A and B are shown apart, each in its own frame.
Chain A
Amino acid sequence: MPQVEYKGKVFDVDEDGFIDSFDKWCPEWVDYVKESEGIQELTEEHWKVIHVLQDYYKKHGIAPMVRILTKVTGFKLKYIYELFPSGPGKGACKMAGLPKPTGCV
């Protein structure tokens, strides 16, 4: 597994840049990934999406369906794409440290 070092932290990532384990997540990870996800500045709204994803994952063991994410955050899907240009899966879930989405994506 390739390793990346950022602000003194070391992360193991897969070929798509997803972190190897949710337990290794830390705020520096979000800061490191934001650039490759096309995000200039992290706003409170970015953090809101990230925290909703993390809380849901800790409680249920899965990422929320898009419908649930939009309902809980109050952000329409279009706005989530404005925050995370690669979308809720490749963008937001990656930054939140969740496992890579699977299935016929």
Chain B
Amino acid sequence: MPFDPNDIMKDRITDIGPPKYDNFFPPYIKENYGKWKYHEILEPGVLVHVAETGAEVYTVRTGAPRLMSVDYIREVCEIADKHCGGYVRWTTRNNIEFMVDDKSKLQPLIDDLRSRGNWFPMGGTGASVTNIVHTQGWVHCHTPAIDASGIVKSVMDELFDYFGSHKLPAQVRISLACCLNMCGAVHCSDIAILGVHRKPPFVEHDRVQNVCEIPLVIAACPTAAIKPKKVGDRKSVEINQNRCMFCGNCYTMCPALPIADGDGDGIALWVGGKVSNSRTAPKFSKLAVPYIPNEPPRWPTVVQTIKKIVEVYASDARRYERIGEWIERIGWERFFEKTGLEFRHEHIDDYRLAMTTWRTTTQFKF
């Protein structure tokens, strides 16, 4: 039935959830579900999984910009129709995977993908730099300190060679979040790009009382920098600038405390996080560079700094070592020395449990 604005509950369908995942399984995945024996990476971007039944499934992984038009999705569908019986899937890092059930279908698929310029670059498997998990940026969010899509494009252009190759010691996961809400995976990635502010919020005293729930604003502050204050006959808040570290959480709760600032805002880089349990436990990423200015549209300083970290890691780490494992083996002082990154007072933790991060041993390298 067409939607009737005068009776919005009429014919309303609700709580049906997503379609069941196996509705969209290719037949050969359905048949061999739970029976996979082994897999191989044939070349960058190409996997084969072999089942106990002898069935083979070839997967071609291609990079994608995540933010995409319907036209682009139609092109993906066209490729899937042409080569894969209409089936296609997206990965947890927003790459696209085309699957075929016969080796003879693999080369025509690859040739077709390659013929489309760089719209469907193959890669992202094995010890590569795969897609960058990222956020909304200036495209849609109201709390960002930086853009997402623009920086991601600039970084992937520079590291493109690592996407379609396996020449790193282990996979390098790069993530970006445009504010320290950290939507996504920045807190657990090998390299993380994070938007930060450097100035306290501006208090629009005449709006606070009307658009904000003041106790929520006060409770939003991790450093207790906010207290209630009467301005004229209006209720408002006061921010102790010496206690504010510009997280922007109070603006998330209160639209009358804008914090974005063209000159103040920029990027912090973090390194050494991982989520897998292989060899060592999962790690949080740690601060590597406290601040790099926003430099749209290509963010050259950020791009070059990341490239430098990747190159030093690639030449120094042992096989299978993730960035965090490499740094913990050589020590943070060596990491700063080898990468040439400056160690500054901002690197030293000063939040609540900070003491656990200071060095309580005489073991260090000059």
- Seen from chain A, the residues whose Cβ lies within 8 Å of a Cβ on chain B are 20-22, 38, 57, 60-63, 85, 99-100, 102-104
Contacts and interface: CB of A to CB of B under 8 A. Distances in A.
Contacts of B210: 20-22, 99
Nearest to A35: B6
B215 A60 contact: yes
B252 A104 contact: yes
B73 interface: no
A102 B255 contact: yes
Contacts of B215: 60-62
B68 interface: no
Contact of A85 (B8, B216, B252): B8
Interface residues of B, number: 17
Contact of A102 (B7, B9, B209, B254): B254
Interface of chain A: mostly helix, strand, loop or mixed: loop
> Which among B9, B181, B210 has the greatest number of chain A C-beta atoms within 10 A?
B210
Contacts of B211: 99-100
Contacts of B212: 99, 102
B213 A61 contact: yes
A100 B215 CA distance: 15
Cβ-closest 5 pairs across A and B: A38-B8, A62-B213, A21-B210, A62-B215, A102-B253
A99 B254 CA distance: 10
Contacts of B194: none
A103 B252 CA distance: 5
Interface string B196-227: 00000000000001111111100000000000
Contacts of A38: 7-9
Contacts of A61: 213-215, 235
Contacts of B235: 61
A47 to B, nearest CB: 20
Contact of A99 (B7, B9, B213, B252): B213
Contacts of B254: 102
11 contacts: A21-B209, A21-B210, A22-B210, A38-B7, A61-B214, A61-B235, A85-B9, A99-B210, A102-B213, A102-B216, A102-B254
Contacts of A20: 210
Interface string B309-343: 00000000000000000000000000000000000
Contacts of B213: 57, 61-63, 99, 102
